[in-house]
């Protein structure tokens, strides 16, 4: 419940309680006979019950609306989080593919370099053997 709604409810509650109290005091000090005063008290009590029931019904209705809004918000957040997770999975898959590609290219490059170095060493050894045979 927002501060505005909470404040409105407090004001409404204070108004109802004030009206009930004022009506009760007015009836107690009214210049009616006991029988008439009791009759009026019963009428005012019934009116107060109706106001209280109406206020309670409004609070329950507003509470239900807030619960429904909360459920919708949670569902929306779940959908958004699902999208974020899916995007994260796609990004990780893409990064994994890039790393795999890089590793494969690096392996090929290292193999090529090793072959070239081995060939150069073989040539150098062959050249030294030829010089050493005279």
Out of 2-11, 37-46, 48-57, the most confident range is 48-57
What pLDDT sits at residue 5?
59
Domains in the chain: boundaries: 3-132
- More confident site: 2 or 29: 29
Two structure tokens written together for 33: 């006979």
What pLDDT sits at residue 3?
54
Q: How many residues does the chain have?
A: 134
Percent of the chain with pLDDT over 70: 88
pLDDT digits (tens, 9 = 90+) for 33-45: 778 777 877 888 8
CA-based nearest residue to 26, from 11, 13, 41, 4: 41
Distance (Å, whole) CA 48 – CA 87: 58
> Distance from first CA to last CA of the chain, Å, rounded?
103
What pLDDT sits at residue 121?
87
Percent of the chain with pLDDT over 90: 32
Distance (Å, whole) CA 68 – CA 61: 11
CA-based nearest residue to 50, from 90, 16, 23: 16
Two structure tokens written together for 49: 């019950």
What pLDDT sits at residue 87?
92
pLDDT digits (tens, 9 = 90+) for 52-97: 899 889 989 998 999 999 999 999 999 899 999 999 999 999 999 9
What is the rounded average pLDDT for all residues in the chain? 84
What pLDDT sits at residue 4?
56
CB proximity list for 20: less than 8 A, separation 6 or greater: 44, 48, 51
């Amino acid at each position: 419940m927002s501060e505005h709604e909470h404040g409105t409810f407090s004001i409404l509650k204070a108004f109802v309680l004030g009206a009930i109290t004022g009506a009760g005091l007015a009836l107690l000090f009214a210049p009616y006979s006991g029988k008439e005063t009791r009759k009026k008290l019963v009428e005012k009590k019934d009116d107060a019950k109706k106001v209280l029931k109406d206020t309670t019904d409004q609070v329950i209705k507003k509470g239900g609306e807030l619960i429904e809004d909360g459920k919708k918000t949670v569902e929306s957040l779940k959908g958004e989080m699902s999208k974020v997770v899916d995007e994260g999975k796609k990004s990780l898959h893409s990064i994994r593919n890039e790393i795999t590609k890089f590793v494969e290219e690096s392996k090929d490059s290292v193999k090529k370099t090793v072959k070239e170095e081995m060939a150069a060493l073989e040539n150098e050894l062959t050249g030294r053997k030829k010089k050493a045979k005279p």
